[in-house]
Amino acid sequence: MASFRPLHDAPDRSYADKLERFGRFAAPELKRIFEGLGLAPGVRVLDVGCGVGVSTGILAEVAGDGAQVVGLDLSLPHLRNATAGPKVALVQADAAALCFRDRSFDLIWSCNTVHHLADPVAALRAMQPALRAGGRIVLAQSGLLPEMYFAWDAPLDDAVRRACHESYRARYGLASANIASVRGLVGLLQGAGMRVESVHTGAIERVQPLSAADRAYFAETVFAGYWDERMTPYLEEPYRSALRRNVDPSSRDYCLDRDDFHHVQTMTVCAGSA
């Protein structure tokens, strides 16, 4: 029987393009985060919810020769589109029911994924036997704090964020409390009986000149992929028109062509040990 998945993930569901663009966009920050994990030579790492494996590939590069890095995802299309490189092994499985021998990994990394699980605490508990002595589970989540896209128009940022949340809740039939629960990384690890070793929130921040990866992420993943027609019913005037002007490349007000474009979003990394 298929398990309940709050964000409708499934073995045949794909949002590979979005994941690829996020990975390329956030690559510099992800690399710094992985470098800060103090990975020992020969480390064994599992990336749970690896998506198309962009960050798994970066993880493997940072872990170096001799490391073993495995990416796991529920979605076959994500794995088929994976660009993690030859050093990474990929496994299709449900994060709620891992399929590894006990004491297989020194580190389980999971970014932007645990809130996709019906019972993240139970899943984190079930993952712990796969850790070797002294092993860690490190959860990462972007966007726990409000993001800034329109540095010159705070009310527009607020209105877009609210509309985005409302449309997301409507799409998945979620209550506000379900969305807020994504913020509870510390509590999830504690609930699973782990000791929180560290927690740190850093910024992903961009100004001009934007790279091709930045522009692709903003224009295609965020503007076209999230701020699409499903969101507009939740956005009133004058914000609806203001948003359109800001995200339309043919408009004089296209935000990605403004000299004062300044984007900030957060990435929180929380490490727990058994």
**Contacts with ligand SAM, residue ranges (CB under 6 A):** 5, 9, 19, 22-23, 49-51, 55, 73-75, 78, 94-96, 111-113, 116-117
Which positions ≥6 away from 169 have C-beta within 8 Å?
A: 175, 176, 178, 179
Angstrom distance (rounded) from CA 191 to CA 103: 21
Residue with Cβ nearer ligand SAM (75 or 265): 75
Backbone angles phi, psi at 55, to 5 degrees: -75, -30
Residue with Cβ nearer ligand SAM (145 or 154): 145
Angstrom distance (rounded) from CA 146 to CA 148: 7
Q: Least distance (Å) from ligand SAM to the CB of residue 18?
A: 8
Residue type, 83: T
The residue behind tokens 């701020």 is: 227
Residue with Cβ nearer ligand SAM (43 or 138): 138
Q: Least distance (Å) from ligand SAM to the CB of residue 142?
A: 8
Cβ contact 90:82 at 8 Å = yes
And the tokens for 38?
């103090």
Residue with Cβ nearer ligand SAM (22 or 149): 22
Which positions ≥6 away from 233 have C-beta within 8 Å?
A: 167
Residue with Cβ nearer ligand SAM (154 or 180): 180
Q: Which helix (H) or strand (E) holds 119?
A: none
Q: Which helix (H) or strand (E) holds 9?
A: none
Residue with Cβ nearer ligand SAM (44 or 116): 116
Which positions ≥6 away from 78 have C-beta within 8 Å?
A: 14, 15, 16, 19, 50, 51, 52, 53
